Chains A and B, each alone.
Chain A
Amino acid sequence: MNDEIKKKINERYERELNRGERFWPDSIFKDLIVSLGIFAILVLLATFVGVAPEPKADPADTSYLPRPEWYFLFLFKFLALYGQIPVIGKIEWLATVLIPGLGIGLLTLLPLLDKSPYRHYSRRIFALTFMGTVILDIVLLTVMASLPVPPDAAELAASTTLQAIGGLWIPAAILTILVLFYAFKRDIYRESTRRSLPIFITVAGSLAMVAMTIYISARAASYPKPEEVEVATTLVDQIVAGQDLYSVHCVECHGDDGSVDVIEGVEGLEGEEITPINSTDVLYTITDSAMYEVIAYGRPNAGMVPFGKAYGGELSRSEIDNIILFMRYTWDDRFEAPEIPALFPPLADGEVPSYEVHIAPIVKRYCISCHRAGKENNDYLMTTYEEILTTGENKDKNIVAGDPNSYLLQVIQGTPIMDPEKPDEEMIGVMPPKGHLKPDALDALIRWIMNGMPETAEDAAKLFVAPTPVQ
């Protein structure tokens, strides 16, 4: 750039300043409004959206699908699509290093590369169409990366191909054409009637990219949504979550209240002597981190299996932490438990309980520890509504709507079911095998079955019978 052009630019700027405004107060005023608006948005987001809770980091849980911060998603998607390309797709660093490096390099050197003194849009068609295509692709790749995962291999292949076309090949084609024009037919970008060709190509290509993304999103709308994992964040929620997990995994051996000192009725561990885990001996001498290790690694010599994912068990870090919180706040007299809400809302006279509000928490707390896959339970599983009604060797008799002799109702009220062929042998023992249900839970289960086992609160509400007032 020669001095003459520089002088012209500076003179032009002087003229603009003379017909301009003052920094204070004109510009600052606008700045303040925008900053205040941003602050208000942030306060609203913090208050009404908050920060989504996440479970604690668990290095053993390799099944976790990594997701970067959203503004890296486009790079993530780009890498995934790039990896599908034959041959060069295998050379990872081309995509992870070379292309981002090239992008940042171009961005850095921009003022040195773009030496033309012109600033008006009509004289910067190449720069604007090029950048526009890149930005649009970044946005679209981000959209694609946030779609749910296709449910099967065929759909995955189809979706990946479509994404590669919309997010990789079309933009690559536009950029190549733009660069080729620039290299060999630069005139086309000059201000003239023909300058519309690059714009036309960019707009047409962009529309194709957007249409492709909309189509891919529409297909993805029918995919199953990923399950939302609930994360307990308040102390009360954590203790309750811990109690549910304790009920599922620990009750069999340690009992409802942790007081078992001789294990009964557990295959392979019958008669094993253990220290009651609700005793001060255990609670005062074992720190939280030692307790964590005992639960995660188990006590193989004493027959306790590992529960931590790191050692082949089912429990994540947060889950074990919650069990420990439950133990501390329930049995350790140095901890003062907060008010724990009832397992389910109390039932009014004539109210019919529903699976989702009342029965599911009861079953989770008292039954699932045995009634799930892999346990001895006559194949009666109880982890979902369907399972409760349709599984088990006695599925026709376990739960019969309106029948007080349903097996389930008998055994929870202390009457075992005898084997019809050998009348003095129990076919189903009383449930739960140790301890019994609290009267309110018993009442809820009876009302539920007598009224036809409604699943949702809505269905249950329709069955509500207002009690006839006693004269």
Chain B
Amino acid sequence: MWKKIFDWLDERLGLNDIYKNLLDRPEPRGNWWNTLGSASLFLFVLQGLTGIFLTVYYTPSPDHAYDSIQYIMEGVAFGWLIRGIHHWGASLMVIVVFIHMLRVFVTASYKYPRELTWLIGVGLLLATIGMGFTGYLLPWNQRAYWATTVGTQIAGSVPFIGEFILKALRGGPDLSALTLQRFFSGHIWMIPAILAALIGVHLFLIIKHGESHFPTRED
């Protein structure tokens, strides 16, 4: 019975091909350090899921953002858990992505033929940090407000175009409802879209070239 269903699906979806090409690949002898990339991926997915739950109650306006988070923490069943995971997950994701980058650096896995994988990776690192920067403002508390004030100021110190960057980030000369709306949009749509696209290419390249082996004296 199961075999029949599987065969029917296999004929149409090519399950066996997928299995052969994606899962049943040879790899160099593995190492625990090589799990950090997939751990980054796991954290990205986890942040996405918990983040989606948070948007059910979160309101991106200076009048309501703080109270809506308060409500998530106190009023919503398991809201504290979802927010707690999202909060700590953000920090952990930065750490894990960073250490993943370090391990790729130390094993020199960015060399031929994986140069592009590294390039995309730098984009991923910057996007991950961008997620942290935009997400930090959303609770609209003192810490968030003042950190973003200083953060955008620093971005505004670029010669010549600093003024423009500052206004583009803040939506005006000061932090306001527009800033919050912008950061929210960046945090839930723009940067995740970029991240997802880059991760897609990153994974494609990894499957194409295979995981590099740990260097020995021969290399």
Contact = CB atoms under 8 A, between A and B. Distances in A.
B154 A96 contact: yes
B75 to A, nearest CB: 9
Residue of A110, A111, A122, A135 with highest tally of chain B CB at under 10 A: A111
A154 interface: no
Interface range, B side: 35 or more
A42 B80 CA distance: 12
Nearest to A1: B112
Given A68-B150, A120-B217, A23 B24 contact: yes
A146 B192 CA distance: 30
A45 B82 CA distance: 11
Main secondary structure of the interface of B (DSSP, over half): helix
Contacts of B210: 13, 17
Interface string B68-106: 001001100000110111011101101110000010011
A6 B115 CA distance: 13
B66 A56 contact: yes
Given A22-B26, A43-B85, A59-B145, A120 B218 contact: yes
Residue of A28, A35, A119 with highest tally of chain B CB at under 10 A: A119
A93 B219 contact: no
A112 interface: yes
Nearest to B110: A111
B141 A56 contact: yes
Contact of A54 (B32, B143, B154, B157): B143
A96 B92 contact: no
Interface of B: 19, 22-30, 32, 34-36, 38-39, 42-43, 46, 62-63, 66, 70, 73-74, 80-81, 83-85, 87-89, 91-92, 94-96, 102, 105-115, 118-119, 122, 125-126, 129, 132-133, 136, 139-147, 149-151, 154, 157-159, 162, 174-175, 210-213, 215-219
Leading 10 A-B pairs by shortest Cβ distance: A46-B84, A57-B145, A24-B23, A111-B115, A54-B141, A119-B215, A66-B146, A16-B213, A119-B219, A35-B42
Interface of A: 1, 5-6, 9-10, 12-13, 16-24, 26-28, 30-31, 33-35, 38-39, 41-43, 45-47, 49-51, 54-59, 61, 64-72, 79, 92-93, 96-97, 104, 107-108, 110-112, 114, 117-122, 124, 127-128, 131, 135, 233-235, 289
Given A59-B174, A66-B147, A121-B106, 18 more contacts: A13-B28, A17-B28, A24-B23, A42-B88, A42-B92, A49-B88, A57-B66, A57-B140, A68-B136, A68-B147, A69-B147, A93-B159, A108-B119, A110-B105, A111-B114, A120-B219, A127-B105, A234-B74
